[in-house]
Amino acid sequence: MTTARGLHAQVLETLGQQIVDGLLRPGTVVRPEAVAEEYGVSRSVVREALRVLQSLGLVEPRQRVGTLVRPASSWELLAPTVIRWRGASPAYFAQQRELLELRLGVEPVAAALAATNTTTTADTIDSTAAVLAAATDMAAACDRDDSRAYLEADVRFHRALLAASGNAVFAHFAGTVEALLRTRTSESRDTITRWTHDAAARHVAVGRAVAAGDADAASAAATALLRVTRDEFIAEAPAP
């Protein structure tokens, strides 16, 4: 038996993905009674899903009109849920490029800060050690041809790097980075397994520079890592 929470999640996922895919275009009126009838759920379940979509900027209630679908310019594009939906949509490659460009402005700075924060607090020291450990795990996963273990180590690497910076805002950005990394897991895409040995080596270079306390080298290595990744996605993207 499906619980109310489960029904809410199903309606939320369906409506959110339809909006991001463009099946529900900006300006479309979403009528709770019609959605409730279509999916065989109560109106309260639909209203709860619409509240979440509103918090993510995908819809907007209008008095005497109803709930309207909003354009992509209004979406919370850094929210993990929106990233996941866009990652399953035709916007997959565009999102990868956009967020990799954003990460180029964040993670090299985080790497430099992590390198200079190696002796500040116990938490920072733990995160700094975790950066190199995760990169080493990525290399080991490559040797085993284990793309799933590689992904999990990749997630740990970037979370640890951002946490080791000692900057709370950077650490919070880790949720966005993780969501982006996890959009690469589709079996129809080979970006999860291609270039992994070279990519792992680039991650190890960042980890070693951070562990050595070399801020300049850490920043340069992180920049090189992200630039190569961005360029790979640009090259792989289908022609417009």
pLDDT in tens, 118-165: 555 555 557 889 999 999 999 999 999 998 899 999 999 999 999 999
Note the pLDDT tens digit of each residue in 192-231: 445 589 999 999 999 999 999 999 999 999 999 999 999 9
Q: Is residue 46 a part of any domain in this protein? A: yes
Is 54 found in the same domain as 124? no
**Which of 13, 41, 74 is a domain's end point?**
74
Is 210 found in the same domain as 115? yes
* Tokens of residue 233, six digits: 């996605």
Q: How buried is residue 105: exposed, middle or buried, by Cβ count under 10 Å (0-12/13-18/19+)? A: exposed
- Full residue range of the structural domain in which residue 108 is found: 91-236
Q: Is residue 123 a part of any domain in this protein? A: yes
Note the pLDDT tens digit of each residue in 159-192: 999 999 999 999 999 999 999 999 987 645 555 4
pLDDT: which is higher, 146 or 53: 53
Q: Is residue 82 a part of any domain in this protein? A: no
What is the signed CA dihedral for 153, 183, 201, 119, rounded to 10 degrees?
Answer: -50
Give the chain's domain count.
2
- Residue 2, pLDDT score: 55
**Which of 20, 46, 74 is a domain's end point?**
74
Q: Is residue 79 a part of any domain in this protein? A: no
